[in-house]
Amino acid sequence: CNEVELAEVLNVIGESKLAKSITQEPTQAKFLQGCLKICQKLSLRRLHFHQYGSYFLLTENNYIVPNKKLKQTLCYASIITAYKAKTGETKKKIDLDILYDLNRIDSRYTKSFKEIASVLEKEKIIYEEEFLLTGITQYHNYNLIIVPTLVINKPKYTVGLGDTISSTALAAEITLKH
């Protein structure tokens, strides 16, 4: 889901105060809190959240796919989505050279990625530097796996990129289960 969908689901499950707060003053801390509430209230094993700047997964601790593999699925989905934004198409085989001119990711990390790391450090969940190296940690009895967005200058295509990132990550994950 994205920020808008997150707030909509929170409203449906009775978390209207948090939903309103996310809508009025969105922060990474509120996004994490909202995703956690949804996972807990709906007993979800997996939730994918995408936004401009980063993508993350929350999964149960005993999730069937290991965290490092899940990170690989997010990285793969990020590349496919960046390619689609750049060219306007998806293919079975892509030319990675087309993505060579990607914005260098703000000294490797986007603002939202750094903000999430800061939130986790303030909550005494992680040491920020360690998290910035791996993008993987525990968050309130869930696994949190995050990767920064690959930003495309002057994209040819923007509609449905959230659907592309989510569905591609899930498809890649399903192939790892078999």
d(CA 38, CA 35): 5
Establish if 23 belongs to a structural domain: no
Q: Which residues are catalytic?
A: 163
Establish if 57 belongs to a structural domain: yes
pLDDT at 20 (0 to 100)? 98
Give the rounded distance of the alpha carbon of 17 from its chain centre. 23
Task: Find the helix or strand (DSSP H, E) in which 4 lies.
Answer: helix 3-12
Establish if 102 belongs to a structural domain: yes
- The runs of H, that is alpha helices, within 25-160 are 28-42, 67-87, 111-122, 128-134
d(CA 6, CA 15): 11
Helix/strand/coil percentages in the chain, nearest 5? 55, 15, 35
d(CA 6, CA 21): 12
Q: Which residue has the higher pLDDT, 130 or 103?
A: 130
Establish if 90 belongs to a structural domain: yes
d(CA 138, CA 141): 6
Which residues have C-beta within 8 Å of that of residue 96, sequence separation ≥ 6? Answer: 79
pTM: 0.83
Considering its fold, how many domains does the chain have in total? 1
pLDDT by residue (tens digit) across 162-178?
A: 888 899 899 988 988 76
Percentage of residues in the chain having pLDDT higher than 90: 41
pLDDT by residue (tens digit) across 136-158?
A: 998 999 999 998 888 787 888 88
Establish if 79 belongs to a structural domain: yes
Q: Check which CATH number belongs to the domain holding 126 and give it.
A: 3.40.1190.20
Question: Residue 146 belongs to what domain range?
Answer: 53-177
pLDDT at 103 (0 to 100)? 46
pLDDT by residue (tens digit) across 39-96?
A: 999 999 999 999 888 889 999 999 999 999 999 999 888 888 888 888 887 766 666 6
Establish if 69 belongs to a structural domain: yes
Establish if 121 belongs to a structural domain: yes
pLDDT at 106 (0 to 100)? 45
Q: At what angle do helices 3-12 and 16-24 cross, to 10 degrees?
A: 160
Establish if 1 belongs to a structural domain: no
